[in-house]
Chain A
Amino acid sequence: MRHIISILIENESGALSRVAGLFSARGYNIESLTVAPTEDPSLSRMTILTWGSDEVLEQITKQLNKLVDVVKVVDLSEAAHVERELMLIKVRATGKDREEMKRMADIFRGRIIDVTESTYVIELTGASSKLDSFIAALDAGLILETVRTGVCGIGRGDRILKV
């Protein structure tokens, strides 16, 4: 099962390596990981996309909670939540492809944020599956470079992760 783990962690040097080290030492998967300070600069919020059985997920949350710097851990995917990922993709945009690329970006509600004579950089936000679909819809030969932020997510409504 795919899970999105949200972690509030003390914003101290080495905090990231404690979490990453835990995952590698115990053989858990990290599909993506994003981290940045929250509105309270003493705290960072980390989002980890991982895969595992219920037993493995139980261990992951327990082990994360055991880390002294970790303040709170929530499995976002346990209940209603929204998730987003941002992708920047650089594509070849020459000749007839130039118009086609513009049209594809529009269809996926992407924005072209950098233009040269031969390339576009398209910004696309959405669920990870939407970003995957966009990549699949393009001619692979025209993709020059992609960069993705990894998933971040937040609970819906009254589900709030705060100290």
Chain B
Amino acid sequence: MSNSPEHDSEPEDQQTAVDSSRTKNNRVVKKLLLIVFGMFGFGFALVPLYDVFCDITGLNGKTNGVSVAYAADGIDTSRTITVQFITRTAKGIPWQFEPVVNEVKVHPGEVKFVKFYAKNESSRDIVGQAVPSVSPGIAAGYFQKIECFCFTQQPLKANEDVEMGLQFYIDLELPPEVTTLTLSYTLYDITDSVDSSS
């Protein structure tokens, strides 16, 4: 008889135990879900982070996307840098695309103008877009383009050809170990995306 109050409270106690373990579980689950969504977001945040990181370090060889004004403090004739030009066409663009000269020698601070030749060898109108990349990546931030055909889209009618200009200079602060730069252009067919946006 003396045990009966204890007896009665037994199921209730268990009920509260179940409830408290449920809230305890929910609290942990909520925290873990926060990590899950946070990390999903972090995956996407890596995209702009990578761009910033590359801007600072030149890791991915990207050069300036818009024209810069000449801002060097004279010409450093004690150094001569070899700048090589290479081109390739992406899959599916029937263009001939090549540099007119394959390499030039240039002093840091000196402005150079070179030409690239492109010809649409197909019988349809195509809009091309050249994307530059500099190797070694560490030098990318010192390669300054004053004027470049890669800043704009390049529409070519069937069988049309064109000579496109690139004007650039190299920063005086180019790291001393760099003696050769390779500028690579890849040409993409962007006709479809131009059509759909206009």
Query: Is B a genuine binding partner of A?
Result: no
Residues of B whose CB lies within 8 Å of any CB of A are none
Residues of A whose CB lies within 8 Å of any CB of B are none
